[in-house]
Structure formats: structure tokens, C-alpha cells
């Protein structure tokens, strides 16, 4: 079946399963989120119960995976992966960002684009150094140019907004948008966040009130603003 035929029929063919405790695979207990690096070389899995990030090498031709690296909470790393439940790879391929609900944290890792290995770059956690809106961190998204990063947080019913330096991968906290504050609604138990391809709109699901909150990027002010 060629590419056009596959798209026309929607057909999928099962290839393989990589399961915790089977075939040498470990650190996948409570596997919660997955991301493929934009360069297609590696797959990253956040495991909520193992408090870990597992790195797989990806064969671009067959799609087959081979585990090559693991980062686990407290295993030689600072304990900021407790309840790791969402992650992404930056558009430039150089960084991986992970949010952990149990640790109320956002972790930035430098990524080795050859091996997929991760090295801690910085930590961001709730109520430290002026950062707010990360309690119960649940979802994460980055804009297409890699200059803004967003975290949806269930515990604070909030959207936390960070500016990102593409050169260093480091983040600067700007503001937490919280449900039921003036001009903001729809963030009760904020669960997931995504950004439009043009970077102009941010969408946040409010699990607790069956809602979708929409923010528009305000270019003159360099801030998201709520849309009514």
C-alpha cells in the first residue's frame, strides 16, 4: 500500500509493543506521555509511576525502538520527576522539557542529538524564586518558534507562562493565569494545553468544568490574553 492509499483508507498495521518488565524494558510503569524528537531520532516516554523518562533510539526506516537511556527521579538526579506525566522536545531538537504532577515542577534537560541522552539544564518548581502555577502540573506545550512555553496545572487551575531563550533553553517565568480571576474562566482542573501552528492562539482544556479556554497572543505586550 502506497502513502496515498494509506491516507485514503486510514489503515494502521500493528508493529510492536514495548512493555515494562518484558524484553528488557524497564521504567515504563504508568507510561503517561510520549514525544518523538523533531529530527526523528529518538522517542521519549514519561512514566508517572516510575518517576522516569525513558529514551529510545528510533530506526527511521522501520520505526523499531531500542532503549538507550533512562533518567529517574532521585537516581543521581534532583528529585523533580515525581509523577512525571508530560513532556516535549523543543523545535530546535536541543532540549527536553518535563512536567511532574507530584513534584509540582518543570524540568529542563539538554538533549544530546546523537545519543538522545539528557543532562539537567535547570529546574522550575512551584512557589520557588517567584514561580507560580505549577501545582499539579499536568500538560505542556511550546510555540512553534520555541520562544514561549506553557504549562497547564490541575492543582492551581492555571496556565503558567514562561519565556524561553532558544540559545540556552532556559526559561523565565512571566505569569500564571488562574481560573476565576478577573477576565479568566475555563481553567478549572486545567489538564492539557496546545498552541496553534502560527503561535497566535493557546488552547487549554478545563477538565473540571467541561470547558476549553482560548488565549490570544498579544504581540505588542508579548503576553497571552484571554478570549471571551
List pLDDT tens digits, range 138-193.
999 999 999 999 999 999 999 999 999 999 999 999 999 999 999 899 999 999 99
Task: State mean pLDDT over 71-79.
Answer: 72
SS3 content of the chain, % helix, strand, coil (to 5): 5, 45, 50
Domain parsing of the chain, residue ranges: 29-125, 148-228
Q: What pLDDT score was predicted for residue 228?
A: 42
For 15-71, write each residue's pLDDT tens digit.
999 999 998 888 999 999 999 999 999 999 999 999 999 999 999 999 999 999 999
C-alpha 194/C-alpha 143 separation (Å) is: 8
Q: What angle do CA 22, 26, 30 make, to 5 degrees?
A: 100
For domain 29-125, the CATH class is mainly beta
Q: What pLDDT score was predicted for residue 12?
A: 84
Amino acid at each position: 500500500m502506497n502513502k496515498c492509499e494509506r491516507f485514503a483508507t486510514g489503515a494502521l498495521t500493528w508493529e510492536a509493543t514495548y512493555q515494562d518488565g518484558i524484553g528488557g524494558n524497564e521504567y515504563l510503569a504508568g507510561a503517561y506521555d510520549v514525544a518523538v524528537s523533531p529530527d526523528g531520532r529518538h522517542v521519549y516516554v514519561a512514566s508517572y509511576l516510575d518517576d522516569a523518562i525513558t529514551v529510545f533510539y528510533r530506526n527511521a526506516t522501520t520505526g523499531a525502538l531500542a532503549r538507550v537511556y533512562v533518567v529517574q527521579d532521585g537516581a543521581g538526579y534532583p528529585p523533580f520527576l515525581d509523577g512525571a506525566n508530560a513532556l516535549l522536545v523543543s523545535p530546535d531538537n536541543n532540549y527536553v522539557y518535563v512536567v511532574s504532577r507530584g513534584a509540582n515542577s518543570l524540568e529542563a534537560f539538554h538533549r544530546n542529538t546523537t545519543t538522545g541522552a539528557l543532562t539537567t539544564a535547570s529546574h522550575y518548581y512551584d512557589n520557588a524564586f517567584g514561580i507560580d502555577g505549577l501545582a499539579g502540573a499536568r500538560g505542556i506545550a511550546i510555540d512553534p518558534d520555541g520562544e514561549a512555553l506553557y504549562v497547564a496545572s490541575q492543582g492551581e487551575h492555571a496556565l503558567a507562562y514562561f519565556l524561553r531563550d532558544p540559545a540556552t533553553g532556559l526559561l523565565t517565568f512571566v505569569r500564571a493565569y488562574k481560573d476565576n480571576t478577573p477576565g479568566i474562566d475555563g481553567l478549572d482542573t486545567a489538564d492539557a494545553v496546545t498552541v496553534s501552528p502560527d503561535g497566535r492562539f493557546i488552547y487549554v482544556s478545563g477538565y473540571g468544568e467541561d470547558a476549553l479556554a482560548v488565549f490570544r497572543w498579544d504581540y505588542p505586550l508579548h503576553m497571552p490574553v484571554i478570549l471571551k
